[in-house]
Amino acid sequence: MATVKAQLARGVRDFDPEFLNRRKWLFSQLEEAFMRYGFLPLETPAIELNQTLQGAYGEEGDRLIFRILNSGQYLESLTDEDWTAARSGQINRFTRLVTEKALRFDLTVPFARYVSMNRGNMVFPFKRFQMQPVWRADRPQRGRYREFYQCDADLIGSECLSSEAQMVALYAEVLGQLGFPSACVRISHRKILSFMAEALGLSSQSRAFMVQLDKLDKSGKESMSTYLTEQGVSTEVQKAWWILIEAQPAPPELLALLLQFSSITQSDLPASIMTELETLTHYIEALRVPSSFYRFDLSLARGLDYYTGFIFEVDSGVKGMGSVGGGGRYDNLTASFGVDGLSGVGISFGVERILDLMIEQNLFGDIPIPAAKVLMATTEPDSMHNLLACAQELRTQGIKTDLYAGDPKPKKIFQYAEARQIPVVAILKTKAERELQFVLKRLTDSAHIQVKPQEIQDWVQGNKPWNTQ
């Protein structure tokens, strides 16, 4: 028989019980928080039509989408000209001819597709959360996988700022519970960024300005200053702008700074911005979010194009670990499907990074894997039916019970129990005709005791002291 090497595809992982148990715990914390805020679950399929995903993530995104080859005689409708064109550079066209489906790339576009498809039967506002894997043909590296979970919550069909405020509260609540006491939601507003661009005389290139701003963390203050000078922004205006960017004060002072900047640059600060800043702060305070947990930071721009209002980014508070979440308000998420007028707010939790961080920071504490509480074994093959009967009795009592089916040497039995993290081994000894005895051994300290079958559960559940004998 021809054999192949057993190996994983690049950038994907197998998951063992320990990892799965931690992920399950994290996801259940998130789920419970979402539901406490009135979000309900939604799931969409792994496979979407190309047309749904095409163009939604920009050119770079398009390249990272995993496409599914059409089935059957998928070359039948192609011509030699199609081949020649593909060979001379038109590879994207060829791809469109041989694929019509692709793997889910994020949860936002499928959500927009879902809302657009079902809007006739939906009552708005609509709230959902979604935790599912996505796939990206990215170059794999530490902490970056080709298959990874995303975790999103969206509220669509309302312009009320109570939504933004509750998203901030949700972040605070969840990250606090998970063990990130120094986490902080940074808040900015796309309309303030547009106002800035205009005030700086860059309104014709506000997108380029936001790209520069988004890179500020990495490229540094000097690079930004050079850019502004190149664009003809005066030193005086730059100085006023840096105060605004670096101050990060609470809204009353922030408003004062904005007005000051507006006056220096002789530009109009829209009244709506002032109202929105005040209202959001008012709402966040009503939700009793600790003031250490959020701050306004006008250096925050966020990469995605579709945001139109408040934007968020969450720092973990763990040094050098960057963002563990982000989101914002959008007005036209469903526009590409021909559905207008649905404003909403979406946030996401970077669950893979949160998982990595929690493991690294030892935040999971004592989450035991769902191992059996006892391993039943016998070194006497003829006693197997008795062993099965005793194991079944324990299971009926709700006790997770494994039964050893391998090589019946004591050493092997204990190796198995250790590998499976089973705390107690019960070995059956048939003393005399019809009289069953078990030797129980606790793995942590090798304490042991001899008991009757019906007594096993007392010791396994810790109701009887191991040290009495």
Size of the chain, expressed as the number of residues it contains: 469
Residue 13 contacts its own copies per CB under 8 A: yes
Q: Does 87 bind its own copies (CB under 8 A)?
A: yes
Cα 294 to chain center, whole Å? Answer: 20
Instruction: Tell me the sheet residues that pair with 144.
Output: 141
Q: Which helix (H) or strand (E) holds 102?
A: strand 99-103
Measured CA to CA in angstroms, residue 357 lies from 116, 170, 322, 329, 331 at distances of 36, 19, 11, 27, 33
Q: Does 93 bind its own copies (CB under 8 A)?
A: no
Of 118 and 219, nearer to its own copies (C-beta) is: 118
From residue 96 to residue 125, the character string flagging contacts with its own copies as x (rule: CB under 8 A) and all else as - is --xxxx-x--------xxx-xxx---xxxx
Query: How near is the Cβ of 322 to its own copies at its closest, in Å?
Result: 25
CB of 394 to its own copies, least distance (A): 9
List the x/- string, 17-46, binding to its own copies by CB under 8 A.
x--xx-------------xxxx-xxxxxxx
Binding part of the chain for its own copies, among 74-82, 304-312, 423-431, 450-458 by CB under 8 A, reads: 74-82
Task: Indicate which single residue of 29, 61, 162, 248 sits in contact with its own copies (rule: CB under 8 A).
Answer: 162
Which residue of 59, 230, 271, 338 would you call a contact of its own copies, by CB under 8 A?
A: 338
Minimum CB–partner distance for residue 418 and its own copies (Å): 8
Instruction: Give the residue from 148, 114, 216 showing the smallest Cα distance to 11.
Output: 148
Q: Which of 93, 144, 400, 409 binds its own copies (CB under 8 A)?
A: 400
CA pair distance 431, 315, nearest whole angstrom? 64
Q: Round to whole Å and give the CA distance between 341 and 335.
A: 8
Could you say whether residue 385 binds its own copies (CB under 8 A)?
yes
Please, which of residues 262-291 interact with its own copies by CB under 8 A? 282-283, 285-288
Q: Indicate whether 250 belongs to the interface with its own copies (CB under 8 A).
A: no
- Residues 6 or more apart from 419 whose CB is under 8 A from it? none
Question: Do the beta carbons of residue 289 and residue 172 sit within 8 Å?
Answer: yes
Tokens 């959008």 correspond to 330
Lay out the site mask for its own copies across 354-373 (x = CB under 8 A, - = otherwise).
---------------xxxx-
With H, G, I as helix, E, B as strand and everything else as coil, classify residue 106: coil
Among 58, 83, 226, 367, binds its own copies (CB under 8 A): 83
Read off φ and ψ for residue 442, nearest 5 degrees.
Answer: -95, 130
